[in-house]
Amino acid sequence: MPGKRRNMSRRDWPANLRCRRDGYYSWVNPTDGREYGLGRDKRAAFAQAVEANLQIMALCDKPRLVDRLNGTTDTTFADLAALYRQEIDKRLERAKIVKATAMSMRQRLATIETRWGATKVAQITTKDAADMLREYEDAGKERMAQSMRSFMLDVFNHAVAIGWRETNPVAVTKAVTVEVERSRLTLEDFRAIHAYAAANMAPRVARAMELALITGQRRDDLRNMGPKDISDGYLWVVQSKGGARVSIPVGIRLQVVNWSLSEVVANCRDAVLSKHFLHHNAIVGKARPGDPIRAQTISLEFAEARDKAGITGSTGKTPPTFHEIRSLAARLWTDERGEAFAKALLGHKSAEMAALYRDKRGDDWVRVPG
């Protein structure tokens, strides 16, 4: 059957443009046959049809995913970013990272993709990476430069692993040195701040400090702790950062302050029924008695007690924050029980130490010795 005769009056029309007898224009997608209405304005219909045809041509010119995965076309950083996002999702699913870490990784990846998205992965040089890091340093953001360098190392290691690069361009960049600007918390400072908090502030402020010093745990983990986490004579902690599983005997005592974990936990329990050791005792805004304290509140109340106690920190450095209690705990426990004990308590375990303190049940819990 012969094909439909072409209307010569429409020989200059954009491809795929149609017009009904009533003057209504439409465009037909050649890839799936779907028809899209364009109205009765001829000039607007022509312009939209041309634009749509160009879009279809661009899509057809893009390399297929299978070709990109096989490396048969020149891959861009945008292609690498797409694969690395899948890697982030896998790590999150396997509990290798937590949600906050995954979000931070995605944000950093987006920042790099904005800069190098269209650049071929194989053409990104060490100078490119060094220039990007230098911009952060020149802006006084040494900590950001340090974390970005570490992240870029991992991204390009992934590119090397899948065969998209022979070497990692970030590996030979200069490591970023960050000068610690926060003052270290001494035991004398701790005692002064604790004394002020115990005498002048809500009981939870001193309780938070005590829990932090005895357990060595982070702020977010402290606020999540409660009676439910104690069983068989241990406090069971799944750390929110990194997912380390640490079981701490409630009988451990830090001799330099003469506090045991069981005594600190007992002090946290009061007339208010709560699932959390650190909780509200009265209505505050939307919070009700028994509700957990926000992590930021823990930091702010510690800072208030620190300032009222007259602890200002070393010259040229910022005053110590609540997080410095974790560092103090590590030093004090190291002095009393040794470095391996302190690392086990904090969840910083080497392969040898992990084997030494691994729970006999063979699971992922590391039991701190009593």
188-204, pLDDT tens digit by residue? Answer: 999 999 999 999 999 99
| pLDDT tens figures, 161-181 | 988 888 899 988 888 776 667
Q: At what angle do helices 324-337 and 203-215 cross, to 10 degrees?
A: 50
Residue among 323, 331, 337, 358 flagged as catalytic: 323
Strands 253-254 and 259-260: antiparallel
Mean per-residue pLDDT, 70-84: 81
Task: Look up 326 and say whether it is catalytic.
Answer: yes
Buried b (16+ CB within 10 A) or exposed e, 129-146: bbebbeebbeeebbebbb
pLDDT on residue 163 = 87
pLDDT on residue 155 = 96
Residue, of 21 and 247, whose pLDDT is higher: 247
| pLDDT tens figures, 251-264 | 999 999 999 999 99
Residue among 149, 349, 357, 367 flagged as catalytic: 357
| pLDDT tens figures, 281-308 | 877 788 788 888 898 999 999 999 999 9
Residue among 218, 223, 349, 367 flagged as catalytic: 218
Whole-number percent of the chain with pLDDT over 90 = 48
Task: For residue 193, count CB atoms less than 10 angstroms from its CB and return exposed for 0-12, middle for 13-18, buried for 19 or more.
Answer: buried
Tell whether the model's pLDDT for residue 349 goes beyond 90: no
Tell whether the model's pLDDT for residue 149 goes beyond 70: yes
Contact 236, 365 (CB under 8 A): yes
**Residue spans per domain, the chain:** 8-61, 68-161, 187-367
pLDDT on residue 209 = 97
pLDDT on residue 66 = 53
Q: What are phi and psi of 157, to 5 degrees?
A: -65, -35
Of 73-77, 222-226, 290-294, minimum mean pLDDT range = 73-77
- The identity of residue 62, as a single letter, is K
Residue among 174, 241, 269, 288 flagged as catalytic: 241
Radius of gyration of the chain from Cα atoms? Answer: 31
C-beta pairs of 133-141 under 8 Å, 24+ apart in sequence: 133/173, 133/176, 137/176
Classify the C-alpha dihedral 143-321-100-333 as positive or negative.
Answer: positive
Task: Look up 279 and say whether it is catalytic.
Answer: no
CA distance 320 to 312: 8
Task: Look up 62 and say whether it is catalytic.
Answer: no
The CATH code of the domain at 187-367 is 1.10.443.10
Residue among 326, 343, 349, 367 flagged as catalytic: 326
Tell whether the model's pLDDT for residue 318 goes beyond 90: no
The superfamily in CATH containing domain 8-61 is Classic Zinc Finger (3.30.160.60)
pLDDT on residue 226 = 93
User: Alpha carbon of 230 to those of 233, 262, 365, 370: distances in Å?
Assistant: 7, 10, 14, 15
Task: Look up 115 and say whether it is catalytic.
Answer: no
Q: Does domain 68-161 have CATH number 2.40.160.10?
A: no
Task: Look up 18 and say whether it is catalytic.
Answer: no
| pLDDT tens figures, 13-67 | 888 889 988 889 998 988 778 888 898 998 888 888 878 876 766 555 455 555 4
Residue among 85, 182, 337, 348 flagged as catalytic: 348
Q: Length of the chain, please?
A: 370
Tell whether the model's pLDDT for residue 69 goes beyond 80: no
pLDDT on residue 87 = 94
- The chain-wide mean pLDDT, for the chain, equals 85
Task: Look up 348 and say whether it is catalytic.
Answer: yes
Tell whether the model's pLDDT for residue 3 goes beyond 70: no
